Amino acid sequence: MNFTDQLVQWYLANKRDLPWRNTTDAYTIWLSEIILQQTRVEQGMPYFYRFLERYPTVTDFAAAQEDEVLKLWQGLGYYSRGRNMLKTAQLVQQQYDGVFPQSYEALIKLKGIGEYTAAAIASFSANEAKAVVDGNVYRVLARYYGIYEPINSTTGKKLFQQIADDLINKKTPGLHNQAMMEFGAMLCKPKNPACNICPVQIDCVAFKAGATSALPVKLKTVKVKERFFNYFLITDGNTILMNKRGDKDIWANMYDLPMVETPALLPAHELMAQPAVMAVFGQIPNITEDTPVQKHILTHQRLFVRMIKTDTLPIKLHENWLYIPLENLPDLALPKIIFILIKNIFNL
């Protein structure tokens, strides 16, 4: 029995019963694939059910408001995924009369769908012979074949895709892809892989060489940027001053609080005397509460966030600032860190 047949046999005996595996509906599969990008199954499952219940068809999704989608997405991170999903649903409604496409060539043209996602939807919904290469597949192939070419290099991406294309079972590509991905997720894990029960360990180059922890190789090319966000909580007990973010930075089009970003973490008295703060309040604002600084990790950024409560009212409002009734706060799409800070103060 060859390598891929062994993985399929293992998969059929050990696979998890996941809802999107019990359908060939391209829309449902698309929902699961986008939600599970950069997200563990355990974390993504409630979101999948939530979205499918709210938007049972792509037509329902296409009619949604962006704020509504972002609110449902709250806590998942990578919020551009939610915004792209809405654009994709609207495009499918317009160009395909609400019938989600199944072919790789049609899927790859949609917003937020790359080669991996297009191959996954096409193979799972229509059994199209397109090999899926995600992080799990990279890891399995790198270890089994002993490949040290970085998976995020141009050469590496081409090499691994070619190997995956050569291996795919053209009669049952969907089953083949599911087996490869599940094997990487459940057995050939990033840390502490279950090599002792692996059905293909006898031919695994990394296992025989004791190199499972060294593979796959990934180039470290991204420098993490540190940012310091100083939020101001301004409320009269009935309303709260909020900021509607623009579309050029993180958390695009979501709501947070009025904020001054500084190049470093400043003591409260120094922060209050900053020109940007004085321009808003016209004086040094009176601090009634200063929350401890919290660290919030994004993919390429490390945020240091504090919230300062003040009873000094601003004399100048930014064009994106608006007073919102406290009772409406639960309906707003807030970044997770802001939601937590506000929730703790108002017991939402």
Separation between Cα atoms, residue 85 and residue 91, nearest integer Å = 10
Cis peptide before 216 (omega within 30 of 0): yes
What is the SS3 assignment for 1? coil
Separation between Cα atoms, residue 27 and residue 32, nearest integer Å = 9
CB distance 255 to 245 below 8 Å: yes
**Alpha helical stretches, state H, the chain:** 3-14, 26-35, 41-54, 58-62, 66-73, 80-95, 104-107, 115-126, 135-145, 154-167, 173-186, 205-209, 268-272, 275-281, 336-346
What is the SS3 assignment for 130? coil
What is the SS3 assignment for 228? strand
DSSP string over 253-299:
T-EE--EEEESS---HHHHHTSHHHHHHHSS-PPEEEEPPPEEEE-S
Count Cα atoms within 13 angstroms, Cβ side, for 238: 0
Beta strands 301-310; 225-233: pairing state: parallel
- 182 a catalytic residue: no
CA 30 to chain centre: 14
Catalytic residue among 33, 53, 115, 261: 33
Given the structure tokens 């002993």, which residue do they identify?
146
Which residues make beta-bridge pairs with 302? 226, 297
Q: Which residues are catalytic?
A: 33
